[in-house]
């Protein structure tokens, strides 16, 4: 490599230090474990899709990253028109169509991968970010109970994360749409788009927009605001909606579905995550048709929703078969990078090593290597000292890396091996074939120091 000036980071492309990456990897392993325990199989799709698939054939999304070989002068070659995926739903839909004959439906899949999107970098918004998605997809019909399934699986996965408490907000498009039909709204989709802005603007502004943009009367607008103000941690929202006096079969269906999701999540630990009915949640994306999810992290409201999704009646279609689905997408980078950045999440050490095997002299490197290997075969991450410096220097070397134990191999036939906990200074005789550190020292531990205020 040629000599080069020291490079700086690239805005919007966060990178972690090794200790942080170990924690991120542990968190990903935990997600995988929960997803697999529930029968979700992993897939990994290529990073690129044809641009027209990414844009859905509609207007060109300027934030998509196009990919082209430097060798290609013209954009019109075979490969032209490839772009990096900006989410995992578009590639999943394509994967389902491409492999439909080889998959068993309903197909449960999880997918944890990077996505790219060239938007302006800001809090929780990156140009490269990891998403963790679960979806269930079927041929033609997907029973409603899968809505409850994805909600509970994701909630169980989130509960295990070492992060501030979460608030999963659930709503149902049928409920909203049924209500709007019931009050006689002239443009229900338009009204839903306005309701979706409840988080960003005051209620009176939303009320005005409902009249000017969605064509509602003052009374209709007031009813909508009352509906959107309902938020309950249980199914009591049903009575409150009923009290608004609107009657419409689609509304009933939405109320029943939302109740079922809230009841289905009732068993999940309440101190780490609350699952509540929140009737403001509309989700901007037009393809949701029933259940919708958003999730907020306490103390980090500026990040917006860190875990969103819902039910779509047509994830994909090849013209003959339609594939309905329901899924939730966790913005792992959106969640973790701010926690690493503000110091509320860290690692107890920056190396996997639990033990450093010391060396009396450079000749004994082979012997120290054999001791290290005896520890490794029993699952203890071990490295050998970099050089046969004085023991004090070798201990300081371990200290700088946060390695908790230094092992002193036996020298001579009568001698015993000894191991020192360099935090306490305790040093004991030990056998490399039986000694084990406490469980907590075996792997780098996640250190969580929650911020008291944002």
Contact positions with a second copy (CB under 8 A) in 283-302: 287
Q: Which stretch binds a second copy (CB under 8 A): 170-178, 274-282, 378-386, 424-432?
A: 378-386
DSSP class of 445: P
Beta bridge partners of 408: 418
Residue 63: asked if its preceding bond is cis (omega within 30°), the reply is no
- Quote the least distance from Cβ 85 to a second copy, whole Å: 12
Q: Answer for the pair 87, 107: CB distance below 8 angstroms, yes or no.
A: no
Asked if 18 touches a second copy (CB under 8 A), the answer is yes
Asked if 145 touches a second copy (CB under 8 A), the answer is yes
Task: Give the residue, chosen from 19, 162, 188, 290, that forms a contact with a second copy under the rule CB under 8 A.
Answer: 19
Asked if 310 touches a second copy (CB under 8 A), the answer is no
Interactions with a second copy, residue window 176-235 (CB under 8 A): none
- Quote the least distance from Cβ 219 to a second copy, whole Å: 37
Beta strands 107-116 and 382-384, pairing class: unpaired
Asked if 436 touches a second copy (CB under 8 A), the answer is no
Using CB under 8 A, count the residues that bind a second copy. 99
Asked if 61 touches a second copy (CB under 8 A), the answer is yes
Beta bridge partners of 438: none
CA distance 234 to 226: 18
Q: Which stretch binds a second copy (CB under 8 A): 66-74, 160-168, 172-180, 335-343?
A: 66-74
272: tokens are 């780490």
Asked if 59 touches a second copy (CB under 8 A), the answer is no
Asked if 103 touches a second copy (CB under 8 A), the answer is yes
Beta bridge partners of 170: 277, 293
Which of residues 62 and 247 has its CB atom nearest to a second copy in the complex?
A: 62
CA distance 291 to 296: 17
Task: Give the residue, chosen from 236, 329, 336, 376, that forms a contact with a second copy under the rule CB under 8 A.
Answer: 376
Asked if 318 touches a second copy (CB under 8 A), the answer is yes
Beta strands 418-421 and 307-317, pairing class: unpaired
CA distance 451 to 454: 7
Asked if 69 touches a second copy (CB under 8 A), the answer is yes
Asked if 86 touches a second copy (CB under 8 A), the answer is no
433: tokens are 């074939």
- Quote the least distance from Cβ 156 to a second copy, whole Å: 9
Task: Give the residue, chosen from 386, 411, 415, 428, that forms a contact with a second copy under the rule CB under 8 A.
Answer: 386
Asked if 140 touches a second copy (CB under 8 A), the answer is no
Asked if 365 touches a second copy (CB under 8 A), the answer is yes
Asked if 43 touches a second copy (CB under 8 A), the answer is yes
Residue 290, classed as helix, strand or coil, is coil
- Quote the least distance from Cβ 9 to a second copy, whole Å: 7
Task: Give the residue, chosen from 79, 213, 239, 433, that forms a contact with a second copy under the rule CB under 8 A.
Answer: 79
- Quickly list DSSP for 318-360: -SS-EEEEEEEEEEHHHHHHHHHHTTSEEES-SSS-SEEE--S
Asked if 314 touches a second copy (CB under 8 A), the answer is yes
Asked if 379 touches a second copy (CB under 8 A), the answer is yes
Beta bridge partners of 447: 346
- Quote the least distance from Cβ 196 to a second copy, whole Å: 20
Task: Give the residue, chosen from 85, 88, 94, 167, that forms a contact with a second copy under the rule CB under 8 A.
Answer: 94
Q: At what angle do helices 145-159 and 18-37 cross, to 10 degrees?
A: 150
CA distance 452 to 218: 42
- Quote the least distance from Cβ 48 to a second copy, whole Å: 7
DSSP H or E segment with residue 418: strand 418-421
Q: Answer for the pair 207, 221: CB distance below 8 angstroms, yes or no.
A: yes
**Which long-range contacts (C-beta less than 8 Å, at least 24 apart) are formed by 202-207?**
203/229
Task: Give the residue, chosen from 51, 224, 282, 339, that forms a contact with a second copy under the rule CB under 8 A.
Answer: 51
DSSP class of 100: G
Asked if 393 touches a second copy (CB under 8 A), the answer is no
Query: Tokens 């080069």 belong to which residue?
Result: 4
Task: Give the residue, chosen from 16, 80, 181, 246, that forms a contact with a second copy under the rule CB under 8 A.
Answer: 16
């Amino acid at each position: 490599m040629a000599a080069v000036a020291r490079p700086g980071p690239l805005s919007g492309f966060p990178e972690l230090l090794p200790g942080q990456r170990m924690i991120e990897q542990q968190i990903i392993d935990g997600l995988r474990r929960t997803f697999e325990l529930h029968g979700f199989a992993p897939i990994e799709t290529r990073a690129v899709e044809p641009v027209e698939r990414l844009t859905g054939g509609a207007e060109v999304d300027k934030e998509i990253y196009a990919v082209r070989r430097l060798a290609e002068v013209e954009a019109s070659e075979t490969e032209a028109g490839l772009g990096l995926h900006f989410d995992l739903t578009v590639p999943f839909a394509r994967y389902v169509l491409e492999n439909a004959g080889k998959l068993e439906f309903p197909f449960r899949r999880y997918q944890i991968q990077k996505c790219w999107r060239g938007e302006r970098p800001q809090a929780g918004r990156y140009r490269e970010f990891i998403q963790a998605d679960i979806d269930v997809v079927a041929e033609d019909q997907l029973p409603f109970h899968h809505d409850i399934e994805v909600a509970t699986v994701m909630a169980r996965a989130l509960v295990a994360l070492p992060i501030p408490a979460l608030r999963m907000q659930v709503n149902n498009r049928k409920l909203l749409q049924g209500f709007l039909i019931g009050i006689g709204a002239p443009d229900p989709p338009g009204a839903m788009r306005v309701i979706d802005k409840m988080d960003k603007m005051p209620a009176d502004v939303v009320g005005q927009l409902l009249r000017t943009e969605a064509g509602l009367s003052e009374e209709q607008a007031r009813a909508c605001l009352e509906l959107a103000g309902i938020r309950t941690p249980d199914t009591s929202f049903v009575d409150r909606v009923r009290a608004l006096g609107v009657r419409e079969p689609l509304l009933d269906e939405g109320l029943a579905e939302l109740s079922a999701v809230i009841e289905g999540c009732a068993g999940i630990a309440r101190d780490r995550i609350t699952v509540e009915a929140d009737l403001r949640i509309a989700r901007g994306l037009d393809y949701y048709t029933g259940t919708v999810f958003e999730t907020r992290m306490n103390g980090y409201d500026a990040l917006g929703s860190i875990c969103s999704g819902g039910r779509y009646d047509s994830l994909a279609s090849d013209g003959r078969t339609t594939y309905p689905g329901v899924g939730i997408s966790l913005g792992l980078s959106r969640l973790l990078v701010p926690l690493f950045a503000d110091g509320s999440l860290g690692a107890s050490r920056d190396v996997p090593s639990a033990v450093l095997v010391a060396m009396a002299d450079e000749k004994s490197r082979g012997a120290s290597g054999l001791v290290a290997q005896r520890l490794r075969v029993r699952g203890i991450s071990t490295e050998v000292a970099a050089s046969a410096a004085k023991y004090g220097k070798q201990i300081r070397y371990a200290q700088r890396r946060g390695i908790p134990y230094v092992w002193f191999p036996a020298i001579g036939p009568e001698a015993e091996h000894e191991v020192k906990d360099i935090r306490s200074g305790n040093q004991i005789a030990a056998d490399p074939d039986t000694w084990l550190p406490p469980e907590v020292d075996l792997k780098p531990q996640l250190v969580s120091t929650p911020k008291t205020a944002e």
